[in-house]
């Protein structure tokens, strides 16, 4: 019997982390949720996390065909045995079941860090409508900061039927679709993805191919091939993959992009602090000099990049939009808690209820900011005197600009099918209130912080436009409706 010749094809992908990543390890040593690490203490992306994302690109049956499955069928047989007149005991006599499984045709490797990386902590807290933290809702988690690079691999064994040596198998087509998906930059990994975490994009893609149907020399090359080395076997195909890219999010998301400009200072408090450093004796100040240097009591949350760029987390945007929509619904006497839970998600551990948010808020990185430090104190409301020990410094940023990207997910059984008119009316009003300074972001908003101006807005494939007066509300609402209908038509097609 003659064997069908085959090819071994390897793909190497360099991933760039475009937003913070958090993949829980199940441990809570450094934080309430530590990031998963290898034995060297370096974060990595498990192959299971990548495979799970890849499977979502395909229909269930196709995903099973290429990524494998395990299915157990059958039941436990039981017999009743009378041991005593007053006691009946159920005895498990035998287990009869069948196990069906199929190995994955695509081998996926872990994503390993390449070069420098930085770990930090983020905080989470649930706020009520008065921006007061709910009891027991404060937690922190470990993240891998942006701009980290990963290397991952995909491997396939492609059978080559006689006479079709130069053709392209369906398996190869599937892998190339995955590569286009990675290159498109629409993939999110790990936890808190609806709040902008875990966004990655393939920066470079290489391929190494060994066709065993040609010469015996190919077998020797394959045996000498080192997957992890930068050998001449690797050929970059990034440009080729980029040419065939399609917008993978177009059929499942409505994208809204707001170009923002600061109208006042912004303050997103950084609660997690670094370990204290010991101060040499010669640098310690005398008691009489303490008034000259007041320690900064709170700082703006920043990225760990060269500019220490201020950042507004997706969770801050989500919280602000959620509370504002809730407020508008109550004012219009149309409030339904179920709608808010469906749109923004819910996790209720007591009732064991969880629902993923239909709205994805990405982080906003503020560029071109100026840092400002002010000294504040508390005043006794009765005497008008300064409260003892209440003097502190506060650091925040001004004059910045950035982008807020909002994605609205389309689901088969989405509540938006019944309530889309109300939702888009509320969302349009919220965007207008953000522009007009009615909706503020972050802390100290009662003192005028957190105000933005929407310089321009882009919805779906429509052209960007500027907000000009209250009449723009109708334009925002109309384009939201039109672009959403296009998403529904495209997905059904």
pLDDT beyond 50 at 284: no
* pLDDT score recorded for residue 160: 65
The model's pLDDT over 319-349, given as tens digits with 9 standing for 90+, comes to: 999 999 999 999 988 888 888 888 888 877 6
Does position 171 have pLDDT exceeding 60, yes or no? yes
Torsion angle, alpha carbons of 363, 369, 374, 378, to 10? -30
| pLDDT at 91 > cutoff 90 | no
Q: What is the pLDDT of residue 429?
A: 95
Percent share of the chain, pLDDT over 70: 77
**Is the confidence at residue 74, as pLDDT, over 90?**
no
Q: Which has more confidence, 153 or 194?
A: 153
Q: Which residue has the higher pLDDT, 201 or 491?
A: 201
Q: Are 359 and 343 in contact (CB under 8 A)?
A: yes
Cβ-count burial 69-96 (b if 16+ within 10 Å, e if not): eeeeeeeeeeeeeeeeeeeeeeeeeeee
In the structure, what pLDDT confidence band is assigned to residue 488 with cuts at 50, 70 and 90? confident
The pLDDT confidence band at residue 37, using thresholds 50, 70 and 90, is: very high
Residues 6+ apart with CB under 8 A from 175: 9, 11, 106, 154, 156
The predicted structure's pLDDT at residue 385: 82
Task: List, for residues 144-167, the tens digit of each pLDDT value.
Answer: 999 999 999 999 998 766 555 555
Confidence of residue 294 (pLDDT cuts 50, 70, 90): very low
Report the run of H or E that residue 362 belongs to, with start and end.
Answer: none
> What is the reported pLDDT for 371?
84
Please tell me the least confidently modeled range out of 67-71, 103-107, 214-218, 242-246. Answer: 242-246
Q: What confidence tier does 138 reach under pLDDT thresholds 50, 70, 90?
A: confident
Does residue 232 surpass a pLDDT of 80? yes
User: What CA–CA distance (Å, rounded) separates 270 from 296?
Assistant: 12
State the Cα–Cα distance between residues 304 and 307, nearest whole angstrom: 8
Distance CA(35)–CA(56), nearest Å, equals 24
pLDDT for the residue numbered 338: 81
pLDDT bin (cut points 50, 70, 90) of residue 404 is: very high
- Predicted pLDDT of residue 83: 42
Q: How many angstroms separate the CA atoms of 249 and 184, rounded?
A: 9
Predicted local confidence at residue 417, as pLDDT: 63
The H or E element containing residue 159 is strand 149-159
By mean pLDDT, which of 47-51, 155-159, 257-261 is the weakest?
Answer: 155-159
Label each residue of 260-328 as H, E or C.
Answer: EEECCCECCECCCCCCCCCCCHHHCCCHHHHHHCCCEEECECECCCCCCCEEECHHHHHHHHHHHHHHH
pLDDT given for residue 168 in this prediction: 64
Does residue 78 register a pLDDT over 70? no
Long-range Cβ contacts of 299-303 (<8 Å, 24+ apart) = 299/269, 299/270, 299/395, 300/266, 300/267, 300/268, 300/269, 300/270, 300/395, 300/396, 300/397, 301/122, 301/268, 301/269, 301/270, 302/270, 303/145, 303/146, 303/365
pTM value is 0.78
**Mean pLDDT across the stretch 282-305?**
48
**pLDDT given at position 112:** 95
- What is the per-residue pLDDT for 419? 79
Q: CA 357, CA 354: separation in Å to the nearest integer?
A: 10
DSSP states along 377-402: --B-TTT-PBPTT--EEEEEEES-EE
In the chain, the percentage of residues whose pLDDT exceeds 90 is 40
* pLDDT for res 69: 85
**CA pair distance 427, 313, nearest whole angstrom:** 19
- 287-305 average pLDDT score: 50
Mean per-residue pLDDT over the chain, rounded:
80
Instruction: Give the pLDDT mean for 247-264.
Output: 81
Mean pLDDT check: name the lowest of 134-138, 249-253, 348-352. Answer: 249-253
CB atoms within 10 A of CB 316: 22
Query: What radius of gyration do the chain's Cα atoms show?
Result: 28
The mean per-residue pLDDT over the stretch 271-280 comes to 40
The enclosing H or E element of 480 equals helix 472-492
- pLDDT digit string, tens, across residues 447-475: 888 999 999 999 998 999 998 887 899 99
> What is the pLDDT at residue 214?
76
Q: How does DSSP classify residue 35?
A: B
């Amino acid at each position: 019997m003659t064997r069908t010749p085959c090819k071994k094809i390897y793909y190497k992908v360099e991933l760039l982390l475009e937003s913070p990543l958090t993949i829980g390890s199940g441990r809570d040593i450094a934080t309430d949720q530590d990031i998963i690490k290898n034995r060297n203490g370096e974060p990595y992306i498990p192959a299971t996390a990548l495979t799970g994302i890849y499977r979502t690109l395909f229909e269930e049956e196709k995903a099973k065909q290429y990524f494998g499955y395990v299915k157990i069928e059958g039941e436990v047989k039981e017999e009743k045995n009378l041991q005593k007149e007053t006691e009946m005991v159920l005895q498990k006599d035998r287990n009869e079941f069948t196990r069906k499984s199929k190995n994955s045709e695509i081998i996926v490797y872990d994503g390993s860090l390449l070069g420098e990386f930085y770990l930090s902590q983020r905080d989470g807290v649930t706020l009520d409508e008065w921006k007061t933290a709910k009891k027991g809702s404060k937690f922190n988690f470990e993240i891998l900061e942006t701009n980290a690079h990963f290397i991952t691999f995909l491997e396939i064994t492609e059978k080559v039927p006689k006479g079709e040596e130069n053709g392209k198998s369906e398996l190869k087509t599937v892998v190339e679709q995955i590569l286009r998906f990675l290159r498109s930059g629409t993939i999110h990994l790990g936890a808190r993805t609806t709040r902008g975490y875990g966004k990655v994009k393939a920066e470079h893609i290489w391929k190494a191919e060994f066709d065993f149907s040609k010469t015996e020399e190919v077998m020797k090359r394959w045996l000498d091939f080192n997957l992890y080395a930068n050998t001449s076997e690797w050929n970059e195909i990034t440009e080729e993959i980029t040419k065939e890219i399609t917008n993978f999010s177009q059929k499942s998301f409505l994208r809204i992009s707001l170009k923002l400009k600061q109208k006042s200072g912004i303050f997103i408090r950084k609660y997690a602090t670094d370990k204290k450093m010991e101060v040499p004796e010669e640098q310690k100040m005398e008691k009489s000099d303490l008034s000259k240097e007041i320690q900064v009591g709170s700082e703006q949350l920043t990225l760990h990049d060269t500019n220490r760029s201020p950042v507004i987390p997706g969770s801050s945007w989500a919280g602000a939009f959620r509370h504002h929509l809730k407020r508008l619904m109550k004012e219009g006497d149309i409030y339904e808690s179920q709608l808010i839970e469906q749109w923004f998600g819910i996790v209720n551990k007591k009732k064991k209820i969880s629902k993923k948010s239909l709205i994805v808020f990405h982080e906003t990185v503020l560029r071109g900011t100026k840092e400002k430090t002010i000294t504040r104190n508390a005043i006794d409301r009765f005497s008008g005197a300064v409260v003892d020990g209440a003097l502190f410094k506060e650091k925040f940023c001004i004059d910045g600009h950035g982008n807020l990207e909002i994605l609205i997910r389309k689901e088969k059984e989405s509540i938006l099918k019944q309530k889309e008119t109300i939702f888009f009316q509320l969302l349009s009003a919220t965007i207008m209130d953000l522009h007009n300074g009615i909706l503020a972001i972050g802390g100290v908003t009662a003192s005028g912080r957190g105000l933005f101006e929407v310089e321009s807005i882009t919805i779906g494939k429509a052209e960007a436009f500027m907000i000009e007066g209250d009449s723009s509300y109708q334009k925002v609402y109309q384009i939201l409706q039109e672009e959403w209908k296009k998403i529904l038509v495209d997905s059904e097609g």
